[in-house]
């Protein structure tokens, strides 16, 4: 099969197209013929070596058809999407014509959307869904601050929260990106300079929950921005991987405020966080109708992967990108 491999850790140019033996599914796994895959910042971190040694073939999600299911549960040709389950991290991932995936990380899809459109959804929408409704327990009418909202995961969170009937405050570091977030349904857009707490009013427009993709660099500020007994969920590290220096729960964690973390790469598809809990069919139907703006902003060919990674790293795409394999 054709596959894209990390020749050595480094810049996008280390991604090379090569031939590898076809993978064989082990018990509990399925073999998928990949039609398209979404691009994720996690794959750039893995390619660069920021997360230590990883699998040779990147890619944490895909859309395609079942090639083989040793358990006989899924017939060959069944349209599916797959996400995580160690792909790209502890096992070869989806930047290939064929990939093996744990069956628990595979979902059948009943949607007429094209392959690139299908591939643009699984990772960001499953993660956003668990962060908003699992960790944060977001309810209709509540106000949620989505920090890092112009990222593909941030846009998915804005989409889902607005569709759920919540009020969304979205943040960006670039004022030119504010119209995009308004178009997604954000009631207001804040320019994030790292100090938002002083600009949120707990009396007239309290923030009930924070969906934080910026991470450690603004954790104290996010905790202060939420109302008393509010909730904060951290899901990303757009602000860098440096730890929170001298964090003291007594001084830094406001009384009653709940802080949680959701690391989809490690738990999605597990019995505690099943992929089946995410309403993917409903999400795809809303993408098809236009209720959710989740179609990829740009689609690349398989042999354009280096350029795709370059654009992803510069942040110039302003949305989810996908790659077609055929």
Residue 241 clears pLDDT 90, i.e. is over it: no
Show the CA angle centred on residue 41, arms to residues 36 and 46, nearest 5°.
95
Residue 201 clears pLDDT 80, i.e. is over it: no
Mean pLDDT of the chain: 96
Domain coordinates of the chain in residue numbers?
2-120+295-324, 124-265
- Third-level CATH fold of 124-265: Rossmann fold (3.40.50)
Residue 11 clears pLDDT 90, i.e. is over it: yes
Give tens-digit pLDDT for 218-233.
999 999 999 999 999 9
Phi, psi of 19 (to 5 degrees): -110, 135
pLDDT value for 198 = 87
Give 317's pLDDT tier (boundaries 50, 70, 90). Answer: confident
CB atoms within 10 A of CB 314: 8
Residue 262 clears pLDDT 80, i.e. is over it: yes
Show the CA angle centred on residue 81, arms to residues 109 and 112, nearest 5°.
40
The class (CATH top level) of 2-120+295-324 is: alpha beta
Q: Percent of the chain at pLDDT above 70?
A: 99
Show the CA angle centred on residue 322, arms to residues 318 and 326, nearest 5°.
160
Q: Percent of the chain at pLDDT above 90?
A: 93
pLDDT value for 203 = 67
Distances (CA, A) of 90 to 136, 288, 308: 29, 33, 23
The four Cα atoms 107, 108, 112, 117 give a dihedral, to 10 degrees, of 20
Give the tokens for residue 64: 């395609």
pLDDT value for 290 = 95
Residues in the chain: 326
Pick from 21, 145, 28, 44: which is nearest to 92 by CA? Answer: 21
Phi, psi of 249 (to 5 degrees): -55, -35
Give 316's pLDDT tier (boundaries 50, 70, 90). Answer: confident
Give 302's pLDDT tier (boundaries 50, 70, 90). Answer: very high
pTM: predicted TM-score of the whole model, two decimal places: 0.95
Residue 204 clears pLDDT 80, i.e. is over it: no
Q: What is the DSSP string of 44-79?
A: HHHHHTTTSS--SS--SEEEEEEEE-TTSSS-TT-E
Handedness of CA 172, 149, 96, 267 (dihedral sign): positive
CB atoms within 10 A of CB 22: 12
Let me know: does 6 contact 95? Beta carbons within 8 Å: no
């Amino acid at each position: 099969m054709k596959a894209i491999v990390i020749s050595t850790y480094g810049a996008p140019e280390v991604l090379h197209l090569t031939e590898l033996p076809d993978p064989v599914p082990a018990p509990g796994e399925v073999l998928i013929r990949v039609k398209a895959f979404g691009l994720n910042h996690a794959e750039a971190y893995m390619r660069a070596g920021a997360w230590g040694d990883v699998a040779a073939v990147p890619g944490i999600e895909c859309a395609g058809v079942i090639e083989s299911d040793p358990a006989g549960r899924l017939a060959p040709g069944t349209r599916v999407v797959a996400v995580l389950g160690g792909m790209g991290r502890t096992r070869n991932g989806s930047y290939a014509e064929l990939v093996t995936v744990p069956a628990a990380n595979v979902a059948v899809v009943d949607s007429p959307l094209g392959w690139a459109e299908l591939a643009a959804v699984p990772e960001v929408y499953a993660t956003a869904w668990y962060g908003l409704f699992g960790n944060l327990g977001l309810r209709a009418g509540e106000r949620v601050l989505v920090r890092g909202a112009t990222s593909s995961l941030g846009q998915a969170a804005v989409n889902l929260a607005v569709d759920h009937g919540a009020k969304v405050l979205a943040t960006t570091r670039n004022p030119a990106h504010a119209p995009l977030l308004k178009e997604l349904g954000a009631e207001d857009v804040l320019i994030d300079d790292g100090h938002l707490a002083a600009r949120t009013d707990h009396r007239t427009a309290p923030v009930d929950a924070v969906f934080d993709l910026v991470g450690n660099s603004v954790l104290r500020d996010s905790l202060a921005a939420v109302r008393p007994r509010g909730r904060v969920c951290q899901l990303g590290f757009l602000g860098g991987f440096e730890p929170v220096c001298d964090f003291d729960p007594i001084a830094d964690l406001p009384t009653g405020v709940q802080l949680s973390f959701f690391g989809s790469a490690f738990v999605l598809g597990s019995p505690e966080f099943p992929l089946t809990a995410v309403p993917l069919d409903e999400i795809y139907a809303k993408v098809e109708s236009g209720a959710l703006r989740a179609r990829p902003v740009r689609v690349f060919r398989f042999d354009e992967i280096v350029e795709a990674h370059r654009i992803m790293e510069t942040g110039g795409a302003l949305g989810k990108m996908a790659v077609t394999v055929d």
